[in-house]
């Protein structure tokens, strides 16, 4: 599975499970997970750097405007982060895009 390869490529703190953080951050929504992965990979490629946890943290921060204390890619107790934040922001953006048409 590609997500497992990404998980293995990331430098994680001991006890962290990147895939679980990702699934939590996107509220179990596969489409959002793929979008976040794609954006993190593009960000890493633009800087010619290895894909890192901070690429995901930065994309999450930009999309949700969540501070670092509420970013599941940065906090130790990531299970208490609002798992619907990214979903809410994405749904609102899509709704706004439809209204502008």
CA-CA-CA-CA torsion sign (30, 36, 39, 45)? negative
- Please say whether the beta carbons of 18 and 12 come within 8 A: yes
- Determine the Cα–Cα distance for residues 96 and 101; give it in Å rounded to an integer: 9
Binned at pLDDT 50, 70 and 90, residue 84 comes out as confident
Q: Is residue 98 predicted with pLDDT exceeding 60?
A: yes
Nearest 5°: the CA angle 24, 30, 36 is 75
Give the burial class of 16: count Cβ atoms within 10 A of its Cβ; 0-12 exposed, 13-18 middle, 19 or more buried: middle
**pLDDT tens readout for residues 26-71:** 776 777 888 888 899 888 888 877 888 899 999 988 888 888 888 8
pLDDT value at residue 62: 87
Please tell me which residue, 91 or 78, carries the higher pLDDT value: 78
> pTM, whole model, 2 decimals?
0.67
Q: What are phi and psi of 53, to 5 degrees?
A: -55, -35
- Please say whether the beta carbons of 80 and 69 come within 8 A: no
pLDDT value at residue 1: 47
């Amino acid at each position: 599975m590609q997500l497992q390869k990404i998980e293995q490529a990331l430098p994680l703190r001991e006890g962290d499970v990147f895939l679980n953080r990702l699934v939590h951050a996107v509220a179990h929504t596969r489409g959002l997970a793929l979008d976040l992965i794609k954006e993190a990979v593009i960000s890493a490629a633009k800087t010619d750097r290895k894909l890192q946890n901070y690429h995901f943290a930065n994309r999450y921060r930009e999309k949700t405007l969540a501070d670092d204390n509420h970013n599941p890619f940065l906090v130790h107790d990531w299970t208490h982060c609002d798992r619907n934040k990214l979903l809410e922001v994405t749904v609102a953006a899509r709704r706004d895009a439809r209204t502008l048409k």
